[in-house]
């Protein structure tokens, strides 16, 4: 540890915030009446122990010091006539201030500084007071004002500066911590100091006296240069231009996730956006923040920590944090609900304006735009996502995966998420059937992707709809385990299968239901399907309880198709229903669907190899399970055993033995 000669080194604490342990007086405010407060309140607010030997009446009048050193402690109860605190007392009382402690001292340059700490009944009231005090300074008549709200070393701190027409400088450095408001008010002649560091340190010195709020799940963060660069990168990744961030930023953590609200507009043109941290160095653009007056449409937790709570109506529940709540079992992620369309090449699909107009006219709410091909990123997504979302559409990204280098392809996928994708869909097809280590490759990809986008971000997988036709395809690697996809989007191209839309939907639902994740079916418009077929597909999906459908592909959709995609359905009741809801298979079957059965049996506590082969050991395990659960014996699977297994083990069994 280094040491130094204190006689040669200046005091490390800036004089504007030097607290002198001595006599402090607190005033308790109730209905505008000031009374002497319990000394314990003083200690609670500041961490200082007042001298109990001097009653309030015996305190001398305020004393000022003759020089920077040896400041005298002065008694003040934030009088409204204090030249450093005009109107501050009334503002604090109006927000329900319960007790205030202040220390005032003079400075050799002719100015005066008052450091204060105030208690409020709630954190929201403290933050509201901070905003109102800063607003009062910025509204000083005839003054030139400025605000620095991006303080790395003092999270949530604000420095407001007002230079009067007579050259008088007023600086308020203020911050809220929990239900406490602390800061310094400095009034002096002259222009603002070029370095605001002492004022930031001043906030920290005051905050150090205030105990942290126990059990808080939301905490404001400071805004560093690294954070500004990360937000700028996320903004650029979404296809936006501009080298600088136009306005201010606020940052906070909610249950361990970092959120940033930043004004990305040009000076004088606010454009407030919300960003979510995907990692310590990367962020995802979540969308634009709307304001009703001064009330932002953000979660209540962020309103409180950022000081907006008092600007909103008491019954305003705010907006939920997007992508932070696990989906209820069987619930399709919101972006995939309703009617959607897939876009392969934006350059062949028309202008942004024409896409928006056509989507609105035909009941489309979500667009799936290609963002990657293996290890290659498609920047067309960056250019489209911002304008399309600004027009009110949901925009999801999709990537055709090869998994030659799973971690690299996962990074390509995450780039689209950072650019603002509302959901992400993995398009996996024939290539994955050829790898001997295909399950491990998928697992590596999903682990790397989840590490970048978080455990609850909506990820879908689209592939072949007939699971029994594609035994080698690793469906279970995508839909089971802690890094699994949230939803399944089978490609139900009935005309390519030479069957009816209704039959294709029935078979797809029956074989994909075993994975236990919600489905959003993809229909086709690329094979000259007629309007009747499109309607039949929609009705079959509706009858099966599917919450979302979409169509491949935008540029292949003919003029006669568009209105059929989103018009009001008038479906007729089908007389005959499918004989079974789940697939039926037994001994000698092999494929990924057998692996799924084995996973569920193993998760239910019945020993069985997970190898995708329905042999003697799997047959014995199935019989054992039937006996234990009181189910009728059968050598093959049936609705009863599937429903019981899925209900007992949960939708996504985590056993991933290879």
Most confident of 25-34, 299-308, 600-609: 600-609
Handedness of CA 612, 617, 619, 621 (dihedral sign): negative
Nearest to 264 by CA among 420, 127, 376, 125: 420
* Category of 516 on φ-ψ map: left (φ > 0), alpha (ψ -120 to 50) or beta: left
Q: How confident is the model at residue 31 (pLDDT cuts 50, 70, 90)?
A: very low
Name, in order, each residue with C-beta under 8 angstroms of 300's C-beta and a sequence gap of 6 or more. 309, 317, 318
What number is the average pLDDT over the span 451-465?
91
CA–CA separation, 170 vs 187, rounded Å? 5
The CATH H-level superfamily of 334-566 is Glycosidases (3.20.20.80)
Q: Mapped to the 3 state alphabet, what secondary structure does 239-285 carry? A: CCCCCCCCCCEEEEEECCEEEEEEECCCCCCCCEEEEEEEECCEEEE
Residue 556: CB partners within 8 Å, gap ≥ 6?
Answer: 525, 526
Reported pTM: 0.66
Q: Could you give the 3-state DSSP secondary structure of residue 492?
A: coil
Among 278-292, 537-551, 617-631, the range scoring the smallest mean pLDDT is 278-292
pLDDT band at 536 (very low <50, low <70, confident <90, very high): very high
pLDDT in tens, 373-409: 999 999 999 999 988 988 889 999 999 999 999 999 9
- b/e map of 576-590 (b: 16 or more CB within 10 Å)? eeeeeebbeeeeebe
Q: Is the peptide bond before 553 cis (omega within 30 degrees of 0)?
A: yes
pLDDT of residue 466: 97
How do beta strands 74-76 and 33-36 pair? Answer: unpaired
Instruction: Tell me yes or no: is domain 15-212 CATH 2.40.50.
Output: no
Tell me the backbone φ, ψ of residue 526, rounded to 5 degrees.
Answer: -95, -5
**Which residues, in sequence order, are bridge partners of residue 102?**
76, 116
For the chain, percent of residues with pLDDT exceeding 70:
72
Q: Tens digits of per-residue pLDDT, 58-78?
A: 323 332 222 222 222 222 333
> In Å, how far are 184, 264, 276, 340 from 280, measured between CA atoms?
32, 21, 11, 33
Tokens of 421: 């994708």
Q: For tokens 């009382």, what's the residue?
A: 93
* Interatomic CA distance for residues 470 and 24, integer angstroms: 79
Per DSSP, the three-state class of 387 is helix
Between 21 and 382, the more confident residue is 382
Q: How do the domains of the chain map onto residue ranges?
A: 15-212, 219-311, 334-566, 592-649
Residue tagged 């809220």 (tokens): 176
Alpha-carbon distance of 251 to 221, in angstroms, equals 5
Closest CA to 540 of 578, 503, 488: 503
- Tell me the three state secondary structure of residue 552: strand
Task: Give me the numbers of helices (H) and strands (E) for the chain, helices first please.
Answer: 18, 25
Query: Which range (36-40, 185-189, 240-244, 551-555) has the least confidence?
Result: 36-40
CA 70 distance to own-chain centroid: 50
253: phi then psi, degrees, rounded to nearest 5: -110, 135
Confirm if 54 and 36 have CB atoms less than 8 A apart: no
Question: Quick check: 160 and 136 in contact, CB under 8 A?
Answer: no
> With bands split at pLDDT 50, 70 and 90, how would you rate the model's confidence at 500?
very high
């Amino acid at each position: 540890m280094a040491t130094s000669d204190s006689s040669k080194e200046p005091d490390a604490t800036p004089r504007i915030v030097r607290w002198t342990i001595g006599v402090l007086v607190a005033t308790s405010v109730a209905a505008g009446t000031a009374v002497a407060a319990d000394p314990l309140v003083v200690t609670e607010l500041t961490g200082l122990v007042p001298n109990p030997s001097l009653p309030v009446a015996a305190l001398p009048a305020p004393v000022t010091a003759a020089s920077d050193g040896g400041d005298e402690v002065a008694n003040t109860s934030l009088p409204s006539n204090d030249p450093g605190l005009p109107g501050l007392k009334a503002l604090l009382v109006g927000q329900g201030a319960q007790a205030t402690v202040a220390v005032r001292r003079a400075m050799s340059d002719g100015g005066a500084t008052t450091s204060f700490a105030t208690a409020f009944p709630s954190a929201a009231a403290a933050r509201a007071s901070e905003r109102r005090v800063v607003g009062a300074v910025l509204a000083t008549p005839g003054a030139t004002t400025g605000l620095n709200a991006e303080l790395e070393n003092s999270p949530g701190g604000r420095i407001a500066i007002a230079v009067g027409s007579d050259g008088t400088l007023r600086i308020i450095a203020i911050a809220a911590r929990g239900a406490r408001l602390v800061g310094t008010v400095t009034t002096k002649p002259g222009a603002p100091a070029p370095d605001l560091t002492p004022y930031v340190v001043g906030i920290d010195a005051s905050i150090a006296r205030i105990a942290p709020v126990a059990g808080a799940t939301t905490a404001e963060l400071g805004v560093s240069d690294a954070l500004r660069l990360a937000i700028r990168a996320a903004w650029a990744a979404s296809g936006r231009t501009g080298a600088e961030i136009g306005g201010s930023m606020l940052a906070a953590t909610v249950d361990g996730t970092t959120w940033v609200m930043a004004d990305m507009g040009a000076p004088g043109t606010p454009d407030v956006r919300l960003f979510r941290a995907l990692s310590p160095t990367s962020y995802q653009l979540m969308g634009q923040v709307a304001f009703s007056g001064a009330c932002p449409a953000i979660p209540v937790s962020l309103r409180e920590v950022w000081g907006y709570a008092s600007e909103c109506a008491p019954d305003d529940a705010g907006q939920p944090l997007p992508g932070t709540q696990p989906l209820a079992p069987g619930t399709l992620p919101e972006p995939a609900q309703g009617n959607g369309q897939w876009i392969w090449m934006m350059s062949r699909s028309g202008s942004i304006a024409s896409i928006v107009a056509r989507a609105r006219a035909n009941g489309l709410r979500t667009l799936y735009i290609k963002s990657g091909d293996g290890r290659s990123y498609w920047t067309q997504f960056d250019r489209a996502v911002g304008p399309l979302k600004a027009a009110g559409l949901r925009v999801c990204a999709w990537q055709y995966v090869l998994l030659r280098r799973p971690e690299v392809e996962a990074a390509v996928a995450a780039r689209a998420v950072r650019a603002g994708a509302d959901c992400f869909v993995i398009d996996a097809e024939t290539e994955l059937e050829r790898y001997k280590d295909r399950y491990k490759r998928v697992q590596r990809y999903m682990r790397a992707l989840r590490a970048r986008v978080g455990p609850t971000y909506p990820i879908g997988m689209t592939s072949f709809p007939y699971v029994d036709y594609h035994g080698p395809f690793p469906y279970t690697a995508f839909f089971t385990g802690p890094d699994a996809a949230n939803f399944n989007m089978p490609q139900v191209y009935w005309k390519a299968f030479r069957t009816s839309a209704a039959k294709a939907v029935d078979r797809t639902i029956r074989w994909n239901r075993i994975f236990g994740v919600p489905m959003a079916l993809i229909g086709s418009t690329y094979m000259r399907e007629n309007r009747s077929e499109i309607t039949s597909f929609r009705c079959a999906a509706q009858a099966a309880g599917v919450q979302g459908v979409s169509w491949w592909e935008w540029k292949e959709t003919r003029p006669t198709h568009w209105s059929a995609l989103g018009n009001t359905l008038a479906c007729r009741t089908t007389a005959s229903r499918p004989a079974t809801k789940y697939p039926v298979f037994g001994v000698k079957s092999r494929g990924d669907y057998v692996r799924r059965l084995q996973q569920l049996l193993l998760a239910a506590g019945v020993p069985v190899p997970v190898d995708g082969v329905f042999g003697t050991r799997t047959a014995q395990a199935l019989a054992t399970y039937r006996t234990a659960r009181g189910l009728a014996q059968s050598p093959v699977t049936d609705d009863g055993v599937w429903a019981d297994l899925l209900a007992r083990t949960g939708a996504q069994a985590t056993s991933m033995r290879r």
